[in-house]
């Protein structure tokens, strides 16, 4: 079904490389006719990395604007520039999170310092509120906002720790924003992706075991592919999901629906969750 986003314009934050979920959502959006602008952490190396990954997508002259989501001034400057470039937008992709990796390990949650907790909640959850507030005036005809979350928001995943708490706050923010922005025709949803080898996930200890465990126990008996998530993002950005808001949409090969998780007899991987 080509052209699901013909004529649509949107902003994507933040692409890390061509193995990031944001890259695959943007790639699917552009393939279906969308024009995308991109935000990036205001570091020279990040700009180079984003440009390189977009070239691999076939986008050779992208609109790039630095945006530090921990700064209200930087967010305001980002949306001012976006308004000058595009006038209005139809969607916003929030694909960013941060927590100090020193505290993303089994047995480390209790030792989480106050400043680490505050930073994780600010960058990973409050940023969605701040970005939605900036995007809403550019969406006079309604639109779609999507964020990325994970099962660790509502179940204990060893080593996910403070990021799980931040994702729980993110998911609650999705629901409250959906109600606040619904009267303006702006939908707000989140995708809860299964464990995937991304740059962000590399900071989580035990990722390899997590992938083995998920593959053995998911309903589809496989790990989710990153492009599975990209295509789900396309659905939530398009009019195919016009009646969907405030939802957490799982794309994890059915791992989240399995209550008692049992390893195959042939597997020696121990349970970790």
Supply the mean pLDDT for the chain.
91
216, 223 contact by CB (below 8 A): no
Q: What does the pLDDT read at residue 200? A: 58
Q: Which of 40, 86, 103, 150 is catalytic?
A: 150
pLDDT, mean of residues 24-53: 95
Q: Which of 40, 86, 103, 160 is catalytic?
A: 160
Q: What does the pLDDT read at residue 266? A: 47
**Domain ranges (residues) in the chain:** 9-255
Place of tokens 């700009």: 47
Q: What does the pLDDT read at residue 106? A: 87
Q: Cα separation of 38 and 40, whole Å?
A: 7
- Let me know if 160 is a catalytic residue: yes
Using alpha carbons, select from 197, 205, 115 the residue that is nearest to residue 157.
Answer: 205
* The model's pTM: 0.91
Q: How confident is the model over 116-169, as pLDDT tens digits?
A: 999 999 999 999 999 999 999 999 999 999 999 999 999 999 889 999 999 999
Q: Is residue 252 over pLDDT 80?
A: yes
Q: How confident is the model over 238-251, as pLDDT tens digits?
A: 999 999 999 999 99
Q: What does the pLDDT read at residue 269? A: 47
- Let me know if 126 is a catalytic residue: no
**Rg, C-alpha atoms of the chain:** 18
- Fold of domain 9-255: Rossmann fold (3.40.50)
Cis peptide before 14 (omega within 30 of 0): yes
pLDDT band at 260 (very low <50, low <70, confident <90, very high): confident
Edge-to-edge order in the sheet of strand 248-251: 63-66, 35-40, 9-13, 91-94, 143-149, 186-193, 248-251
């Amino acid at each position: 079904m080509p052209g699901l986003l013909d004529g649509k314009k949107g902003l994507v934050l933040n692409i890390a490389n061509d193995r990031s979920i944001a890259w695959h959502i943007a790639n699917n959006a552009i393939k279906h006719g969308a024009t995308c602008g991109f935000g990036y952490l205001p570091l020279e190396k990040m700009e180079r990395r984003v440009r390189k990954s977009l070239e691999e997508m076939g986008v050779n002259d992208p609109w790039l604007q630095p945006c530090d989501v921990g700064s209200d001034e930087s967010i305001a400057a980002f949306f001012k520039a976006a308004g000058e470039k595009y006038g209005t937008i139809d969607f916003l992709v929030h694909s960013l999170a941060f927590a100090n990796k020193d505290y993303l390990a089994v047995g480390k949650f209790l030792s989480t310092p106050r400043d680490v907790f505050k930073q994780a909640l600010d960058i990973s959850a409050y940023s969605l509120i701040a970005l939605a507030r900036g995007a809403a005036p550019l969406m006079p005809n309604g639109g779609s906002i999507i964020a990325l979350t994970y099962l660790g928001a509502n179940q204990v995943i060893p080593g996910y720790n403070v990021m799980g708490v931040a994702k729980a706050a993110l998911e609650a923010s999705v629901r409250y924003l959906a109600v606040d922005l619904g009267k303006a025709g702006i939908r707000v949803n989140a995708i809860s992706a299964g464990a995937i080898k991304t740059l962000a996930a590399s900071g989580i200890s035990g990722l390899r075991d997590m992938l083995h465990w998920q593959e053995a126990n998911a309903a589809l008996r496989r790990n989710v592919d990153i492009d599975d998530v990209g295509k789900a993002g396309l659905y939530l950005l398009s009019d195919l999901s016009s009646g969907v808001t405030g939802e957490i949409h799982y794309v994890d090969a059915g791992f989240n629906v399995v209550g008692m998780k049992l390893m195959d007899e042939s597997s020696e991987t121990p349970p970790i969750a």
